[in-house]
Amino acid sequence: MTVGAIALTSAPSMAATKFEFWYGLSGDLSERIQDMCKDFNASQADYEIVCVSQDNYESNLQNTIAAFRANKQPTIAQISDGGVVDLMLSGAYVPVRQLMEENGYKIDWSNYFSGIASYFSTSTGELLAMPFNNSTAVFYYNTDALKAVGFDGAPQTWEQVEDIARKLKAAGYECPIAFDPTGQWQWWEEFSAVHNQPIATKGNGFGGLDAEVAFNKGKFVDQLAWYKKMYDEGLLVNKSKAAGETANDSFVNAHCQMSSSSIADHGFIGKQAKEGMHWDVTMLPVWEGTERTNSFVGGAALWTLKGKSAEEYKGAAAFYNFIATPKQAEWWSTVTGYIPVTNTGYQAMVDKGFYSAAPYKGRELAIKSLTFTPPTEYTRGVRLGNFGAVRKEVQDAIQAVLFENKPVQQALDEAAERSNAILRKFEKTYPGATLP
Per-residue pLDDT of the chain (436 residues; tens, 9 = 90+): 334 443 333 344 446 899 999 999 998 899 999 999 999 999 999 999 999 999 999 999 999 999 999 999 999 999 998 899 999 998 899 999 999 999 999 989 988 887 788 888 887 888 999 999 999 999 999 999 999 999 999 999 999 999 999 999 999 999 999 999 998 899 999 999 999 999 999 999 999 999 999 999 999 999 999 999 999 999 999 999 999 999 999 999 999 999 999 999 999 999 999 999 999 999 999 999 999 999 999 889 999 999 999 999 999 999 999 999 888 988 999 998 898 888 888 888 999 999 999 889 999 999 999 989 988 999 988 999 999 999 999 999 999 999 999 999 999 999 999 999 999 999 999 998 888 8
| H or E element that contains 271 | helix 266-272
- According to the model, what pLDDT value does residue 125 have? 82
Indicate if 137-295+378-429 has the same CATH topology as 17-135+297-370.
yes
Looking at the DSSP bridge assignments, the partners of residue 200 are: 213
Query: Is CATH 3.30.70.890 the right assignment for the domain spanning 137-295+378-429?
Result: no
Say how far apart CA 165 and CA 151 lie, in whole Å. Answer: 11
For the chain, the residue count is 436
Tell me the DSSP string of 50-73.
EEEE-SSHHHHHHHHHHHHHTT--
Of 326, 325, 333, nearest in space to 133 by CA:
333
Of 99, 122, 123, nearest in space to 303 by CA:
99
Kindly list the distances between the CA atom of residue 337 and the CA atoms of 185, 213, 261, 328, 345, in Å, as whole numbers in the listed order.
17, 31, 12, 14, 14
What is the per-residue burial (b if ≥16 Cβ within 10 Å, else e) of 276-308? ebebebbbbbbbeeeebbbbbbbbbbbbbbeeb
Alpha carbon 354 to chain centroid distance? 22
| H or E element that contains 144 | helix 143-148
DSSP one-letter code for 217: S
Asked if 17 contacts 315 with a C-beta cutoff of 8 angstroms, the reply is yes
Q: Tell me the residue type at 336.
A: T
CATH superfamily of 17-135+297-370: Periplasmic binding protein-like II (3.40.190.10)
Q: Quote the pTM value.
A: 0.88
Where do the structural domains in the chain lie, given as residue ranges? 17-135+297-370, 137-295+378-429
Asked if 113 contacts 259 with a C-beta cutoff of 8 angstroms, the reply is no
- Burial label for 374, CB within 10 Å (0-12, 13-18, 19+), is exposed
Asked if 73 contacts 307 with a C-beta cutoff of 8 angstroms, the reply is yes
Asked if 26 contacts 53 with a C-beta cutoff of 8 angstroms, the reply is yes
- According to the model, what pLDDT value does residue 15 have? 64
Say how far apart CA 263 and CA 337 lie, in whole Å. Answer: 6
| H or E element that contains 18 | strand 17-23
Say how far apart CA 213 and CA 121 lie, in whole Å. Answer: 22
Looking at the DSSP bridge assignments, the partners of residue 135 are: 298
